[in-house]
Amino acid sequence: MANERELAEGARAWPFEEARRVVKRLGGKTPEKGYALFETGYGPSGLPHIGTFGEVARTTMVRQAFQRLSDIPTRLFCFSDDMDGLRKVPDNIPNKEMVAEHLGKPLTQIPDPFGTHESFGHHNNARLRGFLDAFGFDYDFQSSTEFYTSGRFDAALLQVLRNYDKVKNVVLPTLGPERRETYSPFLPICTKTGRVLQVPVLETDAEAGTIVYQDEDGSKVETPVTGGHCKLQWKADWAMRWYALDVDYEMSGKDLIDSVKLGGQICRILGARPPEGFTYELFLDEEAKKISKSKGNGLSAEEWLTYGPQESLSLFMFQKPRAAKRLYFDVIPRAVDDYLSHLQAYNGQDEKRLENPVWHIHGGQPPLPGTKLSFAMLLNLASVCNTEDPAVLWGFISRYAPDASPESDAFLDHLVGFALRYYKDFVKPSKRYRAPDEKERKALADLAGRLRALPEDADGETIQAEVYAVGKEHGFENLRDWFKALYEILLGQDQGPRMGSFMALYGLQESLALIDQALEGQSLTGS
């Protein structure tokens, strides 16, 4: 079998396609800075969200692919634009009136409304780091405030000043008439109020490294552009960062396509090559509308992780990043089972294993698969048992798979917990049983007779064969109608598991009891 480097060079998974672009960019040589730099950006005026996870997870996947293709060291910068002026008070914070008094100031100069950190920016940066650390990401946190005030951006800021008119003229056509009147790439920090100002710049002096601007009171003020006295407007700031840090790769959402193009122009004006990029599609809600943080019509990372493991969320991010995808609670069970299927397939794939999503989810070291039980199966087991007690589910699981236990298969035990929560919140409220019609009654009676003739330890395939045969012999031309009838009559839902496997897990006698109850017209509530 080919070694991993050879497999990586031919792998068609999108992270490898992206990584090969970075390899080509560097030409096999370690950059002067000593590493290939991957970057993600974060605006810390709000809390980290599922899009933050997606961008860091996807960038990490490209970085991992690059590491299999090249021996050049890598770093991932998670850059917080915490020197931005706060434009409005967020809805989800305490002490709103206090924060309102500091509108316009850099986030790191606003008192922390939560009272836990030296500033609002530091608070949200801590939340970002905690969020990323919880997922085990390998990254270097970087603060815009620290870079500006320490002088680490000084050389790049002077380069922007030397090319002031060129940079300004790139941005002006993208602005409305009113904003053009006052636009400057440099936003001075007012020495009187501490606010980030969007005011006209009257003079520039590249040799002295200063600008003269018209203050809000009409006076003229001269200030250095270095040392944290100014920051750049965000589009110019993004491009300056690419130039200053020599960023090799950064992805962004579809809504920033124009900004990426503009940033590339500015980066070239400054004398550098913009990074390799990747445009991902934005998420949609259940009604195919764009997800908005302010509207709250999306699904948070915390909400996803209430009902499914991190691996399933990572898979959702891996799959088709250039396609708009609906992000709502109903996609979680499918994502969990897709992950389990990929994990089961991994060890037998050999030369295709680098195209399996679990390779990218686990950094090339996927765990061994555990007990073969799907999430859908666990959901249906919880449903038919009408229980929220893990011990009840484990009672059936241990009979079906005697070697499995919460101690020996911790991942399965986590799935049991996720399934019970999902059942309680989403399945149980919508369960609707119906009675069988005459044709279905005859088919169910026939199925019950066949199941009684099977040995108690019949496996799922044997049971499935009988379920299939009954459907055919009772005139269900489309067997989907037969299986749908079983789901609606026995499980109280219009979708369900592979019935043979489910009945093997639930038990033949228990499955027969379900059928008998349906034939006798009793309520199938699991009570």
Task: From 258, 280, 302, give the residue that closes a domain.
Answer: 280
Task: From 304, 331, 361, give the residue that closes a domain.
Answer: 361
Q: Check residue 292 and give its pLDDT.
A: 59
In a domain, 527, yes or no: no
What spatial distance separates the first Cα and last Cα of the chain, rounded to whole Å?
A: 55
Cα–Cα distance, 87 to 187 (Å, whole number): 14
CATH classification of the domain holding 200? 3.40.50.620
In a domain, 401, yes or no: yes
Task: From 280, 306, 334, give the residue that closes a domain.
Answer: 280
Tokens representing residue 100 in the block:
């309102």
Please write the tens of the pLDDT for every residue from 8-25.
Answer: 999 999 999 999 999 999
Q: Model pTM?
A: 0.91
In a domain, 219, yes or no: yes
Are residues 324 and 446 part of one domain?
no
Check if the beta carbon of residue 113 is closer than 8 Å to that of residue 96.
Answer: yes
Are residues 165 and 90 part of one domain?
yes
Are residues 291 and 273 part of one domain?
no
Q: Check residue 524 and give its pLDDT.
A: 47
> Which residue stretches of the chain have pLDDT < 70?
1-2, 291-298, 522-527
Domain tally, the chain = 4
Are residues 55 and 147 part of one domain?
yes
In a domain, 135, yes or no: yes
Residue 263, H or E segment = helix 257-270
Are residues 235 and 311 part of one domain?
no
The residue written with tokens 């070694």 in the block is: 3
Cα–Cα distance, 120 to 345 (Å, whole number): 47
CATH classification of the domain holding 467? 1.10.10.350
In a domain, 366, yes or no: no
Q: In terms of residue numbers, what domain contains 512?
A: 438-520
CA 146, 152, 154 angle in degrees (round to 5)? 115
Partner residues linked to 212 by β-bridges = 203, 222
Q: Check residue 1 and give its pLDDT.
A: 45
Cβ partners under 8 Å of residue 438, min gap 6? none
Q: Check residue 523 and give its pLDDT.
A: 46
Cα–Cα distance, 464 to 504 (Å, whole number): 9
Please write the tens of the pLDDT for every residue from 489-517.
Answer: 999 988 888 899 999 999 999 999 999 99
Which three-class secondary structure state does DSSP give residue 504?
helix
Are residues 475 and 508 part of one domain?
yes
Q: Check residue 295 and give its pLDDT.
A: 53
Q: Check residue 241 and give its pLDDT.
A: 98
The CB density around residue 178, as the number of other CB atoms within 10 Å, is 8
Are residues 404 and 458 part of one domain?
no
Are residues 400 and 261 part of one domain?
no
CA 321, 323, 328 angle in degrees (round to 5)? 85
Residue 341's alpha-carbon distances to 335, 351, 372, in angstroms, are: 10, 18, 9
Q: Where are the beta strands (DSSP E) in 239-299?
A: 249-253, 276-280, 283-284
Are residues 231 and 90 part of one domain?
yes
Q: Check residue 163 and give its pLDDT.
A: 98
Tokens representing residue 192 in the block:
């009187």
Are residues 38 and 93 part of one domain?
yes
In a domain, 368, yes or no: no
Are residues 256 and 198 part of one domain?
yes
In a domain, 496, yes or no: yes
Check if the beta carbon of residue 235 is closer than 8 Å to that of residue 266.
Answer: yes
Are residues 185 and 141 part of one domain?
yes
Compute the 3-state secondary structure of the chain and give helix, strand, coil in percent, each to the nearest 5: 50, 10, 35
